[in-house]
Chains A and B, each alone.
Chain A
């Protein structure tokens, strides 16, 4: 190594940015060589000329210090503060605190912490892009599901969209994994072993969390959150370690225009993250997908359908007057079903699991829908997908006939899960009967739908059945093959939309 090289190494050692370091070095080297050539032209030998040229440059450590101030690393103190803000911001925005106004407050405070952390990175101007990618990934992590949740609204009756949904979910998951892994890998630029180890740890945490959330019994669920926190701590420690690595090695840590773009992306994603569930709910309420929502009246007004049922009954049961009469009566009664004041009551482990803001029930006069506002991301934020809950749908009805011994209402809830783990819509049979009490003109019927395997439930369609006859089908004392002949099922369908 020549004297010039040694001198330049000393001068440039404080410059953190490797590109800038290269530029400064080239510039100073050109200067020294030019000076050296000048001395050689004046008669000095090469060694003397080089020594003179270097001497003219001045004290290397003094110049290094000045350059260091100009192109310094982010001060470790600032870095630590920023990382802690990021960490606590993540915690506060990720976990749900169901106490009074604490939830919005924690979300807000967490967001502020996030933004402060990012601007600290930006201000330092020395944090490398990969870190920013990582930060963006952190937001994408929570945002991707929100985006995905919008799609199932339109997929219930469309096979293409159903599959599209599936693939979009899978693709988003893969992209998320890739970006996060990439972000981590970038932290360890040049160190293959560390890179592989980190990526491995990340995926391990991710999948263990996934497994716990999906297959574990309920008492294990809090561990999902613990694993996530562990994962965050690992990341934090890793970042600190990588910082040291960056300091000790020639790694370019300057953040440029990409950083600014990163800030914009993060801001946008944050806004989406906070407001998308509400916006999605309002948007779907404003533009309901009509194909999956129809009312009681629509069914009853369908003369063809009535004829179909008549014919079916006649074919299957012969022309026994009594049976046919029962069928028609039930159909008539169903027309009297009033649902203007329907109520939806949701019960779960957490009272605020689903927030019912307003319910516009199916109206027999016009198309309506149940609009239930639901904070889509909450289940995910608990880190558990296996919570038990049940939805209780109740509505008043009116029956004015004393000929029937019973009438039953039951339902079948179809759930379109958004989470990629659940690949197919599920059906849950709701089974609670209500008995028609002869002579009473008004009853309140309800259906309770238990759900034990829910991730996100952005879309549920509820199919109801009205069953009636002269004798309860649950009375098995006179059971025979023909005991159901005098009953008929009528069905309608509506959809919960969030």
Chain B
């Protein structure tokens, strides 16, 4: 089932932070990883990822460094910081609470139908 863009948009930042928390990755790798982990559900416009990464970097949730590749191209790798880990934890809790509330409302409305 295709998930609406609006719904994905609200959780993209948390998902990106979550993926990067597993290991150091570069932009394209993050997108691929996100796609694989979600069985293709979270397929996003790839360009929209980068402003998110840069915003996180500005907020000091992520750190970055450049590394040479075999193809003489450079890649910018992102690494989560301690501040980022705390932020991820906070967002996870926020999400859990939110999804619990949503499920609760949806479940209750089903009972009335």
Q: Please give the residue numbers on chain A whose beta carbons come within 8 Å of chain B beta carbons, in ascending order.
A: 11, 23-24, 26-28, 30-31, 33-35, 37, 56-60, 62-63, 66-67, 70-71
Contacts and interface: CB of A to CB of B under 8 A. Distances in A.
Contact of B27 (A11, A27, A58, A66): A27
Contact of A57 (B45, B71, B76): B45
Interface residues of B, number: 17
A33 B73 contact: yes
B58 to A, nearest CB: 7
Task: Report whether over half of chain B's contact residues are helix, strand or loop; otherwise say mixed.
Answer: helix
A353 B20 CA distance: 68
Given A56-B46, A58-B45, A59-B45, A26 B51 contact: no
19 contacts: A11-B47, A24-B50, A24-B54, A27-B50, A30-B26, A30-B28, A30-B73, A30-B74, A31-B27, A31-B46, A34-B28, A35-B46, A57-B45, A58-B48, A59-B45, A60-B47, A63-B50, A66-B48, A70-B58
Nearest 5 Cβ contacts at the A-B interface: A58-B45, A57-B47, A66-B51, A58-B47, A63-B47
Contacts of B46: 31, 35, 56-58
Interface of B: 26-28, 45-48, 50-51, 54-55, 58, 71, 73-76
Contacts of B48: 58, 62-63, 66
B90 to A, nearest CB: 21
A57 B74 CA distance: 19
A58 to B, nearest CB: 3
A27 B77 CA distance: 10
Q: Is the interface of A mostly helix, strand, loop or mixed?
A: helix
Nearest to B48: A58
B28 A31 contact: yes
Nearest to B69: A30
A437 B69 CA distance: 104
A58 B49 CA distance: 10
A50 to B, nearest CB: 14
Nearest to A26: B74
A66 B44 CA distance: 15
A40 to B, nearest CB: 13
Contacts of B26: 30
A417 to B, nearest CB: 54
Contacts of A67: 50-51, 54
Contacts of A37: 71
A63 B51 CA distance: 7
Contacts of B55: 70
A320 to B, nearest CB: 96
Given A28-B50, A31-B27, A57-B45, 4 more contacts: A27-B76, A33-B73, A59-B47, A63-B48
A453 to B, nearest CB: 58
Contact of A35 (B28, B50, B71, B76): B28
Contacts of A57: 45-47
Contacts of B45: 56-59
Given A34-B28, A57-B45, A70 B74 contact: no
A266 B56 CA distance: 32
B17 to A, nearest CB: 17
Contacts of B47: 11, 28, 57-60, 63
Contacts of A27: 27, 50, 76
A388 to B, nearest CB: 60
B72 to A, nearest CB: 11
Nearest to A69: B51
Contacts of B54: 24, 67, 70-71
A63 to B, nearest CB: 4
Nearest to B53: A27
B28 to A, nearest CB: 5
